[in-house]
Amino acid sequence: MEKLVKSSAAIAVTPVKMHIPFELRCNECGRRTHKGDIYLGLKEEVEKDSCLDVEIYRFDFKCPSCRATFSIKSDPGRYDYVVESEIGESVAAIATLMKMHIPFELWCNDCGKQAYKGDKFLRSKEEVGKDSYLGVDIYIFEFQCPSCHIAFFIKSDPGWYDYIVESGATLIPRKF
């Protein structure tokens, strides 16, 4: 009888089917999980927020490719979810995809398709660091070629108020 009482008082873990709230990249195998992908996982009540009187939940999932586990925790203060940060974390949150116009003409190094200035692409953005002279953030933008889907990278250059092609594409010289 005591065992039944103890097990009913234990924290309940329930299986759930959940849409992933943001993009993730697995640090083990490099697989990307897109926002809105449906994953099967386990939902566990962790604690109760003292200010808002709302339950905080942890959702445990596994990468479909390498089976590495990762956890997402609800954050009622921000009305959002957070990837739990632990040492040896198997998943890293990455920027969401947004649309951006290409600032110059370039060729894809893989298929040779030309992208014109002003063409709209889906891209992800990562902060690299701060420029020591101007104190302005430096970003690397990852784009994908629309025909061959190979990634190419463009880096912001705040010193010259311009962008630099890092890899995957070749800049077409500007005509003055």
Q: 69 to each of 3, 21, 22, 124, how far by Cα in Å?
A: 30, 17, 16, 24
Q: To the nearest 10°, the Cα dihedral for 25, 26, 31, 33? A: -50
C-alpha neighbours within 13 Å on the C-beta side of residue 53: 0
Cβ neighbourhood burial of 165 (10 Å; 0-12, 13-18, 19+): middle
Q: Which residue has the higher pLDDT, 6 or 22?
A: 22
Looking at the chain, the whole-number percentage of residues with pLDDT higher than 90 is 15
Between 126 and 166, where is the model more confident? 166
* Residue found by looking up tokens 């993009």 in the block: 23
pLDDT in tens, 122-131: 777 777 766 6
Given this model, what pLDDT does residue 170 score?
Answer: 93
Amino acid identity at 112: G
Strand intervals (E) in 49-90: 55-62, 69-75, 80-83
> Using CB atoms within 10 A of its CB, is residue 33 exposed (0-12), middle (13-18) or buried (19+)?
buried
**Binning pLDDT at 50, 70 and 90, where does residue 93 land?**
low
Predicted local distance difference test score (pLDDT) of residue 130: 66
Distance CA 31, CA 35 (A): 13
Who contacts 113 (Cβ-Cβ below 8 Å, separation ≥6)?
107, 145, 146, 147, 148
The region that residue 98 occupies, defined by phi over 0 for left and psi between -120 and 50 for alpha, beta otherwise, is: beta
Domains of the chain by residue range: 2-93, 98-171
